[in-house]
Amino acid sequence: MNRILYGNICYSKTPEELITLENGYLVCENKTIKGVYPVIPDKYRTFEIVDYNGCLIMPGLCDLHIHAPQYAFRGLGMDLELLDWLNGYAFPEESKYNDDEYASAAYDQFVEDLKRSATTRACVFATIHTRATLILMEKLERSGLVSFVGMVGMDRNCPDYLRQESAEAAYLSIREWIESSRHAFNNTKPIITPRFIPTCSDDLLKKLKELQLEYDLPVQSHLSESKEEINWVRELCPQAGTYGEAYDRFGLFGGEGVPTVMAHCVWSEGDEEKLLRDNGVYVAHCPQSNMNICSGIAPIRRFMKKGIRVGLGSDVAGGCHMSIFRSMSDAVQVSKLYWRLLDQAYAPLTIPEAFYLGTAGGGSYFGKVGRFDEGYDFDAVVIDDSALKSPKPLTIAERLARIIYFSEEVSIRSKYVRGVNVAEKGVGR
């Protein structure tokens, strides 16, 4: 559909360049952005104009890392570290998704709230259960959002009730799931998902690589989240120089034809940083979960300076909030602690930089997404921030900053994904 959105427009071209236009026009033709203009060009004058006077219009937010089956217990177990938290909360909850009825009810809540949020695209972890993962994908497809969804592979070092019988059994069930899903949906696509190295045998990683090659799929997993986890990987994979190399040995760590996103990377440094950069791997920075489960602070400024691709993730339920606005504010705050307490060579992130990470930074994993430049997919959210009162006039950049910090006090008027308005008058997230 061809349309023009009228309102106060803001988007990022680079981490340092925030573009704002008061009372501007955002043009969409055939689900693609044609540009931002102060006056409507003559060739677009026949397009429908949607008036969002006074609202902010910005790119849809992108969540590079979220666990759908963990949504039901968010906020619990936040006094534990990663491995204890997995065994005490995450694994027991995920076992319930063997029950299709439970999975359907839980995923209804997850998808409903994701649709009501400002997120338009997401990389989503599911569980080891074929049918439950398809249920999740069906619900996400109906929501109109765009997502990669991963059926998880794990055949060792996890509870019996959540362990796939063997690498071969995992391969067969994941292959069946890929065959069932890869052509079934327009907006929801499969992604290869080894949970993390401790739960994946070498044989399973080999099998997942076979599937990645056969179906030309992207990859998602976890990397260097906690020191205890890293020490465990060293014991399990003594032949690998770094945690990242443990994936790379099997061709599951970026490179040509293997779009890869790795969550956390809190303790990545040296050779692992170089491998992230050289292989074009995306880092999903999840500041809230890093705080909640005591993992540490990822050196995002350092990553950006070294040319590593970075986006944001909510990491529910390690993170309590689905909001990528919340991830933006948390990213700024933890970067201040990193600068003050750990290394003053790396200045804190700015609000425009955090906004970039949550839009264009993570959006580029999905292609031409996250900016309002010509040729990009038309993903946009319209924010009504009139509830955030001020006795003085504010610039668009100042209003954006307050939306990021007080997103629960604003409302989402509309949300467009690939040119389609999927939600109107939602609550702020």
Number of Cβ atoms within 10 Å of the Cβ of 137 = 25
Same domain, 236 and 166: yes
What's at 378, amino acid-wise?
Answer: F
CATH label of the domain that carries residue 38: 2.30.40.10
Final residue belonging to a domain, choices 323, 350, 366: 366
Q: Which of 28, 23, 31 is nearest to 44 (CA)?
A: 28
> Which amino acid, residue 75?
G
Per DSSP bridges, beta strands 61-67 and 119-125 are parallel
Residue-level pLDDT at 423: 77
pLDDT of residue 424: 56
Whether residues 385 and 260 fall in one domain: no
Residues 13 and 100 in one domain: no
Please list the residues that pair with 411 across neighbouring strands.
384, 427
Q: What are phi and psi of 264, to 5 degrees?
A: 90, -80
Which helix (H) or strand (E) element contains residue 7?
strand 3-12
The four Cα atoms 123, 127, 131, 133 give a dihedral, to 10 degrees, of: -10
Q: Residue 425's pLDDT is what?
A: 43
- Give the pLDDT confidence score for residue 1 in this predicted structure: 79
User: Last residue of some domain: 314, 346, 366?
Assistant: 366
Which residues fall within 8 angstroms of residue 185, CB to CB, at 6 or more apart? 137, 138, 141
Q: How many domains does the chain fold into?
A: 2
CATH number, domain with residue 277: 3.20.20.140
71 with 135, same domain?
yes
Q: Are residues 297 and 324 in the same domain?
A: yes
Q: Quote the pLDDT of residue 285.
A: 98
Question: Which DSSP symbol is given to 192?
Answer: B
pLDDT lower than 70: segments of the chain: 424-429
In terms of domains, do 189 and 268 share one? yes
Q: What is the pLDDT of residue 427?
A: 39
Angstrom distance (rounded) from CA 170 to CA 163: 9
Torsional class of 21: left (φ above 0), alpha (ψ -120 to 50), beta (otherwise): beta
CB 147 within 8 A of CB 121: yes
- Is residue 364 within 8 A of residue 370, CB to CB? The reply is yes
Residues 179 and 235 in one domain: yes
Note whether 218 and 106 are same-domain residues: yes
Whether residues 22 and 147 fall in one domain: no
Range of the domain at 163: 62-366
Q: 249 and 320 share a domain?
A: yes
Helix (H, G, I), strand (E, B) or coil at 339: helix
* Pair (278, 162) in one structural domain: yes
The domain boundary residue, chosen from 315, 348, 366: 366
What pLDDT shows up at residue 429? 38
Distance between CA atoms of residues 221 and 219, nearest Å: 7
**Residues 251 and 296 occupy one common structural domain:** yes
Q: 200-226, pLDDT tens digit by residue?
A: 999 999 999 999 999 999 999 999 999
